[in-house]
Structure 1
Amino acid sequence: MQVTTTNSTAATGATPSQKAQLQKAAQQFEAVFLRQMIGAMRSASLAEGISDSSATQQFQDMADARTADAMAGKGAMGIAELLMKQFGARVSDTPVAPDATAAGKATGA
């Protein structure tokens, strides 16, 4: 998984490549999409439960978020993979230098 790659580059002090950043953003997008989908499915219930309260709702939301994050991390829906196929060819594998991007903005490039 790319998560371990990102963690290892952070430990060595190297900057992550644009592909690694794209992979992380794609997984986060998939997680947000899944959270919205799970929330919509949960709100479609027709009857109120015996233990429905604001606290229960809050814990269900947290559990749904964790479930969505886990599903996105495993690529359960394949959304992140599709995003990588679509946008992966447009980014390079070279590390992104923070100073280079700041210099490019300052010169108007």
Structure 2
Amino acid sequence: MNDTTIRGPLAVPPSNADPAIRVADEVADPAYRDKVEAAAQQFEGFFIAQMLRQMRSATRELAAEDSIFRNRINDDMLDLADTTVAGALAGQRAFGIADAIVRQLLPPVGPVKSDVVDSAPRFKSGTR
């Protein structure tokens, strides 16, 4: 018997395998989950940084002509500070954007518990 099938953690599903099986195997990999979570957190950081830049830009536009907020001298340092603050907020997952992305890209680990079903009122048969 000449079996050339590779088994174990390094096994690659055959190219003719069902795509759902290949995706399920890929999602089950902890390294893949870590990459998805890191990418989602990085996206949240980019999103927050862009939001801070837009807020700073709006403040500059709305400020009076002689206001200190119109001064563009420290724009580079303020941009760096915004990026740093955004990274810190994303690391805490303060806005929940990364969590939403991870929920959409990865199936839940463990049994799925529905809050809607658990919070529904329970009635005994024949009573209201």
TM-score with structure 1 setting the length: 0.62
Structural mapping, 1:6-85, within 5 Å: 17-45=31-59, 46-47=62-63, 48-49=67-68, 52-54=71-73, 56-85=74-103
Offset at 1:77?
Answer: 0.3
Task: Indicate the residue corresponding to 1:104 in structure 2.
Answer: none
Amino acid at match of 2:68: G
CA distance in 2, matches of 1:51, 1:60: 13
Query: CA RMSD of the aligned region, Å?
Result: 2.0
Structure with the greater relative contact order (CA < 8 A, sep ≥ 6): 1 or 2? 1
Number of equivalenced pairs = 74
For structure 2, the residue ranges without an aligned partner over 5 or more in a row are: 1-29, 109-128
AA matched with 1:52 = N
Judged with a 3 Å threshold, the aligned counterparts in structure 2 of structure 1 residues 28 and 50 are, in CA distance, closer, same or farther, namely closer
Distance in 2 (alpha carbons) for counterparts of 1:82 and 1:32: 15
Q: Which amino acid aligns with 1:73?
A: G
% identical equivalent positions? 38
CA pair 85-50 structure 1, distance change in 2 beyond 3 A: closer
Q: If you compute each CA radius of gyration, which structure gives the higher value, 1 or 2?
A: 2
1:50, CA displacement in angstroms?
Answer: 6.9
Of Structure 1 and Structure 2, the greater helix share is in 1
